[in-house]
Structure 1
Amino acid sequence: MDIDDGDDAAGGVFVTWQAGPRLRACASRAFRLKQLDEPVLRHSSAVGAAMLQAMAQVLTSAGFRVEDARDEYRPQQLPVLAGPPSGQRPVWSLRDEELMLSGW
């Protein structure tokens, strides 16, 4: 997560995800050596796109408002525009009956 508290259009809360170290290293090597037809580059890109989509779906389901990652300076970061509405309990929060001690 990255929080840019600047008072401008670039500010905000951004979530990100990274592939594992091995995939990142292989993709970085292929890019550095200008081996642009290497399958690892397509795979790395596909994994990144799938994870951005999955993060957006999970956050939206939890009540967050997100925007597509369109920032050229943050291509793999998902902007979070707002949290769940005030007063809305998370769907995973404990229910009242779970908080009561048995036998009381």
Structure 2
Amino acid sequence: MANDSRQQVAMFEIKKASEAEIAKRDDLAGKVAEALAMAGFTVHRDVNQASATQGALVWVDPAEDSRGGVFVQWLINPSLSRAAVESAQKGEIQSSAFLYFSFVTEHMYSTLIAILGSAGFQAGDGDDDMSPYLIRVEG
């Protein structure tokens, strides 16, 4: 039984990219964060603190496969995020909180892509169904 458990855990293990690749991603993430800061954005780099912050979040996913890379996401004030979630859970997708959240999220997504593009980065959709406004950045 214990052996079966270890085999199941191994199936879900995420392989990390090489140290050289992660260093390359970290360098790119630093340049992305610097470009956004120069444009006037508040930039955060700690994905583990995302729920308590607002502004642009820039982070590196160390996964070896296509899930890995450098990502950017716009973080709205946590109180607005909570209000939008509460509205959605109640089926109130026409509430002012939900509409405001949606408007800001959609516009900041396209704005961040445009700003990153103007700074020389290749930025586009992160192709993540669980996070539809996730931006993937390449050098």
Q: How does 1:35-46 map to 2 (within 5 A)?
A: 35-46=92-103
The higher radius of gyration belongs to 1
Picking from 36, 42, 61, the partner of 1:4 is: 61
TM-score, structure 1 normalization: 0.68
Structure with larger RCO (C-alpha < 8 A, sep 6+): 1
Q: 2:14 maps to which residue?
A: none
Offset, 1:68: 2.2
Offset, 1:33: 2.8
- Structure with higher helix content: 2
Q: 2:105 maps to which residue?
A: 48
Deviation by residue 1:28-65 (Cα, 9 ceiling, x = unmatched): 22123332331321221111010011111111111111
CA RMSD after TM alignment? 1.6
Q: What is the alpha-carbon distance in structure 2 between the residues aligned to residue 30 and residue 71 of structure 1?
A: 23
Q: 1:24 maps to which residue?
A: 81
Extract unaligned runs of 5+ from structure 1. 83-104
**Structure 1 stretches of 4+ moved >6 Å:** none
Q: 1:57 maps to which residue?
A: 114
Q: 1:76 maps to which residue?
A: 133
Q: 1:34 maps to which residue?
A: 91
